Structure 1
């Protein structure tokens, strides 16, 4: 038997088996649609990988498979040439450690899976995004945004004293709640924007702000007033975290970190614990958000403080230089500019 005849014979047999499995999947889909689809795509990807990489079948097998499966199942989507290559890539990425992710990948849609596989460098990174997607019910667009901001490298990276000030497992959960740096690229501000301007923008864009802070943060207020003794004090931003079951005080600094910031925040935490915290609440947590920090300086500043505090940087990725207006030009300004340009052109 020639190589071509053997290929044709094996392909026809393989195609027949695939058709039967696809029909079986259609029947089961009503009960567990996503799980069955992911498993089917895994099997197709595995067999494509083995036939192309081990048996030397070229890319023409993908073209043939696309044509024949679409012909057999014209009402089903998912058997395009592109998606067949996604199936192969899905298998190739996880083939050595599929047991680690088998239950996770079955819980999210195929589009989410492909996004994670195509943008993750390691299986550990993909597991992070799989887990976060399941826990937070992320849409595909939110998942894409979180991957694009490299959440995997930022989550749990803030400098904190949580291990010394919170019991386990609260300390680990609190530590994973914080990021470093925080990305406020949804703001449009001048490069040297002051703290009040940043606060204004963050509260104006509270939905994006809460998304960047992460799941569990509930906004209580800005410039929250505290009466201590006969003086009034104002907290920049006050939140309640539903998972940690505690208040969270955020102090925003448009400067580099200074040790005295931790001392002032410690004072606020004591006041919140005394005036707002109930018996069912955990100790209040503080976060200093600053433009830059020195790691050793921040660690020293937190070492002798008994309240749980974290220090992290923030970035204004879309900062506008001071000499450029943040607002769009008015119609009058545009017309004036055009008139000037025309006059110069006519003069020349």
Structure 2
């Protein structure tokens, strides 16, 4: 059963913060994994979940940096995770699986944005490899732990970048056309939305529901590959200390994490899934030619495209068909 892509009138606003969303929720006894949960909106997500009593496992490439960022938080564990390295993903999963714990929340937050044309050792486009395929592999490895929960949610961070256009299933790694970092980023985020749509279909029988979301425009470390000219066009600038300032239109990290946390805990989403969310609500489904800079376009939630992408992903990652049964 598919959930309608229609607002639930949640009562929250674009300015709502993660701490406002988590207020009143008790997550004691719950276990969450947050990839990249030590910086930007990932850090605010970790803070919110931990403040409600959840045990949060953070996947981080830089353990020292993660330890420094998370030092003040209780019930937070750190395991090394490099989403560009399949062996690192397997090692992360093995460490968690050895604990024998059920997994209640899997938040696929980490990502890369707008680097130059880079390919991993497999020849995969880095956007697609890190933002999407790495999380696909991780979810497959953790599937049994999610099933053990009986009431798990998987949350994939997509982006308004999906507006760049439909996914080209015949050229996912830009081998047949010139590389465009905006199109590459957008494609990877469209893939994340499609992943959540199909994952929700696979997981419903096991009490697993999946959601994708646009956190809003955030000035964070993801902007490090953007030139000063690109930042200026977006209404922002890079300061000498590596921070950013803007003339408006951007959310804070606390506001950016709010929709992730809402997808993780909102009772309004019980029995629902497979939808794209923004501003702490299910986003509006708009026409393909809509000029608006919000909502979700049909190509990012299309069931047929989601199924095709799923099959391609299993083949690329050599994941046996039926793993998600």
Pick the TM interval, shorter chain.
Answer: under 0.3
Q: TM-score, normalised by structure 1?
A: 0.26
Q: TM-score, normalised by structure 2?
A: 0.27
Instruction: Find the structure with the greater CA-based Rg.
Output: 1
